[in-house]
Structure 1
Amino acid sequence: MKQTMKAVVVRDKNDVAVRNDIPMPQIGEYEALVKMYSCGFCNGTDFHVIDGSLTKEEGLGAYPTILGHEGCGDIVAVGAKVRYLHMGDRLIHPVNRPCGDYSMTYGNMCEYALVPDHLAMLEDGWSKDQLPFNGNTIIGVEPNFVKIPKHIDPIDGGVLLSLCECLGAVRDFGIGEGASVLVYGCGPMGLASMYIMRALGVKRIVAVDSIDSRLATAKNEVGVDQTINFERTAVSAALAGEKFDFTYDAVGAVSIIEESSHYLRQGGKVCALGVLGAGRDLLNMHKLQNNTSVHIHSQPYKRFGFMAELVALIEAGKINPKNFYSHVLPMEDIHQAMELVKNKQCLKVILKIAD
């Protein structure tokens, strides 16, 4: 077996490189080795890792750290005591443990990753506190990875984590049949959320963004009822006094939470999906409309519990993962991917790690 592998490494703040000297993961008796095929570039969290605004409590590893949490790959080897993971299983979001001098945040932009068989370990007498990667990959007893059907394209797999997070958030917020929703942000998370809202019977959706191509996708592909380019038209003027059951921040901005509360009916709810980066998370309660609720759904939170429902929506033709990314680039082109995202010249980039 190879001794080293390639990975995208954040060497220090705003210093990103592809390195080929990463020690290959060595599987333990309760672990499986995953060959990675793709990893989505997260328009929010990955930049928070790169610029250092993600906190240690939120999962930032010490630099140098291996980037990526939206990976997809297949199991190619299993340890002697693995019972619930199998050769060929296709997984989303394996989380590596540190390799040599490199920490993991969360380590999906690499050629190989590891997953532990937590169920086998618990059966064999391990306590929850003894489980590997505890804190990064355990939510209760739920492992922070999930199996998906083999018929799903592994490139599409690079966007399934985002889709699962959106489905889980919409369900958690209580947005459903007959509701009206004002959505800020037509990036991949915003568009995915609006697709899901439509599939769940939401009656009226109004989308707010500043990029015409994204607004056109929301109008023509999702079928939202109204779009607003806030750089040309003030949201308040475009809405002309309309009030909503929910507003939905898919960007991750305190200013959106504060502003959007004023477009809610009394007793309505501001839903915050976007991750608020450290230093950009101070909410001024005096700027909120009275008698409204704010529901923060920072990830991760039980996202994989919704994978079966998401797969069912995909198989029923109600969700097409290919609608949520615009570029597929080799992992070696990470800087091009960053520029595309930073300059808003793409919807989402999937990094291709292997065939």
Structure 2
Amino acid sequence: MKAIVYDGIKNVNVKDVADPKIEKNDDIIIKVTSTAICGSDLHLIHGMIPNLRKNSVLGHETMGIVEEIGSDVIKVKKGDRVIVPFPVACGHCFYCEHDLYSQCDNSNPYGECGGIFGYSDTFGGYDGGQAEYLRVPYANVGPIVIPEELSDDHALFLTDVLPTSYWGVDNAGVKKGDTVIVLGCGPIGLSAIKWLMLKNVKRIIAVDRVDYRLKHAASYKGVEIVNFEKHEDTGEYLKEITHGGADVILDCVGMDGAMSKFEKFETLLKLQGGSKSAIEISSRAIRKGGTIMMVGVYGARYNLYPLGDFFSRNVTLKMGQCPAQAYIPQILDIIKRGEYNPTDIITHKLSLSEGKHAYEIFDGKLDECIKVVLKPH
């Protein structure tokens, strides 16, 4: 089959790889109908996630048609159209039973966290879904059947973007009347803004440095935008315009934010896991007693982390990988009722064979690219 594979730093290619096979009785094989590139895939190809082997199949936002099923699979059947949540989860360990699927104890033999499709040996060594076919383990837990009336475009982001952005808002404890700053206007940040609008918050301020992404954020009614490159100290500016700081900050940037020369040097030497620019902005822009929710992916340990700033001002920090399976059913109902349209972030639809080009425009922020959907067939 054809698949997008990692060939080295900032180098991906479409290659022929072996077709996946049923390995355990609760596996299924799906024929991929739609897949997407995630911002966290860029962390992989930038070398920020360890233990990624060459020729690894990438991708964790995938849906398709069930082609084969193992003998123990009862949740889905051949011919079903399913989305596959990005965390690989067994469904019966302590963490799965407490709805923390992203921390499954049994899906990752290589590390302390749960497994993720297409995300290196650090996260379980599973092949990803940017391919013609995908093996899905624990198929009685993960895959969810999608009704025919929903297009792939309306359903695909249930795999990651929608539950991650929804969970970020929910886990931060956002309330009606709050002032919320969203750092990063990529797919997660833009999706989070729309969830905030449904919460009827008092004020939403979207922060980025890419003009076309800020323009998209500003197209949502009532959203204010700030280009952080136009301010000497963005954190202090945000604190000033919010009259003491925001109630909640959603960090949808993570380690791939703007890096100082010192941070680039530290990251190169593996002394730091990427940028902490969003953390530093947050440390100044949050009000006393506020909450910072880190939705963007962070890597290794960090030097000069502003922990004392958070501690002295009673700031609550929350973070982590979204337990997607716990949120998908309720989000699916919201989409079916027509209360949330996830498709507006799609700017490019390409064939899987154009995967290298797709990564180049997404990574380079070319052609006003926000989200790429790939079609293998």
Shorter-chain TM-score: what band?
Answer: 0.7 to 0.9
Counterpart for residue 38 of structure 2: 42
> How far, CA to CA, are the matches of 1:118 and 1:159 in structure 2?
19
Contact 1:264 1:292 in 2 (8 A): no
The one-letter amino acid of 1:196's match is W
> How far, CA to CA, are the matches of 1:341 and 1:295 in structure 2?
30
The one-letter amino acid of 2:332's match is V
Deviations 1:306-343, CA, capped at 9 Å, x for gaps: 11221122223232121122111111112211221122
More off after superposition, 253-262 vs 171-180: 253-262
Identity %: 29
Mapped pair 1:71 → 2:94: no
The Cα of 1:41 is off from its aligned counterpart by 0.3
Within 5 Å, which residues of 2 pair with 1:101-120?
A: 104-117=125-138, 119=140
Counterpart for residue 175 of structure 1: 174
The one-letter amino acid of 2:44's match is V
Within 5 Å, which residues of 2 pair with 1:204-353?
A: 204-220=203-219, 222-234=220-232, 235=234, 236-237=236-237, 239-240=240-241, 242=243, 243-253=245-255, 254-278=276-300, 283-288=305-310, 290-299=312-321, 301-345=322-366, 346-353=369-376
Contact 2:22 2:28 in 1 (8 A): no
The one-letter amino acid of 1:73's match is G
Deviations 1:269-295, CA, capped at 9 Å, x for gaps: 111110013466872324547324243
SS at match of 2:17: strand
Cα distance change of structure 1 residues 225 and 115 upon mapping to structure 2, 3 Å threshold? closer
The Cα of 1:88 is off from its aligned counterpart by 2.5
The Cα of 1:250 is off from its aligned counterpart by 0.8
The one-letter amino acid of 2:307's match is M
SS at match of 1:246: strand
Contact 1:269 1:292 in 2 (8 A): no
The one-letter amino acid of 1:247's match is I
For structure 2, list consecutive stretches of 5 or more residues without a partner in the other structure: 89-116, 119-123, 256-275
For structure 1, list consecutive stretches of 5 or more residues without a partner in the other structure: 98-102, 120-142
Within 5 Å, which residues of 2 pair with 1:49-198?
A: 49-56=44-51, 61-93=52-84, 104-117=125-138, 119=140, 143-160=141-158, 161-198=160-197
SS at match of 2:71: coil
The one-letter amino acid of 1:290's match is S
Question: Greater strand percent: which structure?
Answer: 1
Deviations 1:17-54, CA, capped at 9 Å, x for gaps: 111132342465432221101111012x2122223321
Counterpart for residue 135 of structure 1: none
SS at match of 1:158: helix
Counterpart for residue 31 of structure 1: 27
Cα distance change of structure 1 residues 281 and 163 upon mapping to structure 2, 3 Å threshold? farther
CA RMSD, 1 decimal: 2.7
Cα distance change of structure 1 residues 21 and 262 upon mapping to structure 2, 3 Å threshold? closer
Contact 2:209 2:227 in 1 (8 A): yes
Contact 1:69 1:105 in 2 (8 A): no
> How far, CA to CA, are the matches of 1:309 and 1:195 in structure 2?
16
The one-letter amino acid of 1:192's match is S
Mapped pair 1:19 → 2:10: no
Contact 1:40 1:70 in 2 (8 A): yes
Deviations 1:91-114, CA, capped at 9 Å, x for gaps: 2237679xxxxx955411111112
Deviations 1:131-157, CA, capped at 9 Å, x for gaps: xxxxxxxxxxxx344333333222444
Deviations 1:210-239, CA, capped at 9 Å, x for gaps: 22222222222x224421122224533464
> How far, CA to CA, are the matches of 1:246 and 1:117 in structure 2?
36
More off after superposition, 171-180 vs 10-19: 10-19
Contact 2:20 2:29 in 1 (8 A): no
How many residue pairs get aligned? The number is 316
Counterpart for residue 140 of structure 1: none
> How far, CA to CA, are the matches of 1:24 and 1:31 in structure 2?
11
TM-score by length of 1: 0.80
